[in-house]
Amino acid sequence: MNDQQTHHDEDEALRPHSYDGIQEYDKRLPNWWLFTLYGAVIFSVGYWAYFHWTGHMEQGWVRVQSRMEAIKLAALNHGEPPDNLQIWNFSRDPKIVEAGRKTYMTTCAACHGENLKGGIGQDLTDATWIHGGKPMDIFATVRDGVIAKGMPTWGPLLGQQRMAEVVAFIISQNPTVEQPAEEKAAPNEG
């Protein structure tokens, strides 16, 4: 067996360089190794193109911000009503606006019209707000209703989250509603 191995080794070409008296054979890399290398290169180019050119991958801070908004929206059903700035921010989120549009079409469109131009109810696209034009004023009107004018109280039926979505949809469709200033929490007195 030694003779065959020695004979086999003598037929192989040696590389011309020598390090510390050690020479190496001039052999091709194994096919499995080459397939692994080329496969990894092709996969990495495809991965990079898919996630970075097509925009399928959100940046970390965008994911965190959208998750925080989702948590705030879910907390509406279990806590205090939202504030003006929070509802304003909801009106800039397409997912929340779309959810509000769906609720609006099933509960509000019969009186206020599908295009928010009014009918039995008030026009919601102009600058005239009978009960206040701030986001929380609109929220309170939806929650408490206006019994004298025939608007039912939607608070118990819709819940805070769906009311906030509806108000966000209305604000997104009305360019006259201005962005509220950031509200500062009042210091505790005691």
What digits encode the pLDDT tens for the residues 91-106?
A: 888 888 899 899 889 8
User: Is a pLDDT exceeding 50 seen at residue 1?
Assistant: no
- Residue 122 is predicted with a pLDDT of 81
- Topology (CATH) of 60-173: Cytochrome Bc1 Complex; Chain D, domain 2 (1.10.760)
User: Is a pLDDT exceeding 70 seen at residue 3?
Assistant: no
pTM of the model: 0.57
Instruction: State the average pLDDT over residues 58-69.
Output: 79
- Residue 150 is predicted with a pLDDT of 84
Name the pLDDT band for 11 (thresholds 50, 70, 90): low
Instruction: State the average pLDDT over residues 147-176.
Output: 85
User: Is a pLDDT exceeding 70 seen at residue 182?
Assistant: no
- Residue 118 is predicted with a pLDDT of 79
How do residues 42-62 score in pLDDT, each as one tens digit? 999 998 888 888 877 777 788
What are the sequence ranges of the domains in the chain? Answer: 2-53, 60-173
| Dist CA 101 CA 116 (whole Å) | 11
- Residue 89 is predicted with a pLDDT of 82
104 CB-contact burial (10 Å; exposed 0-12 / middle 13-18 / buried 19+): buried
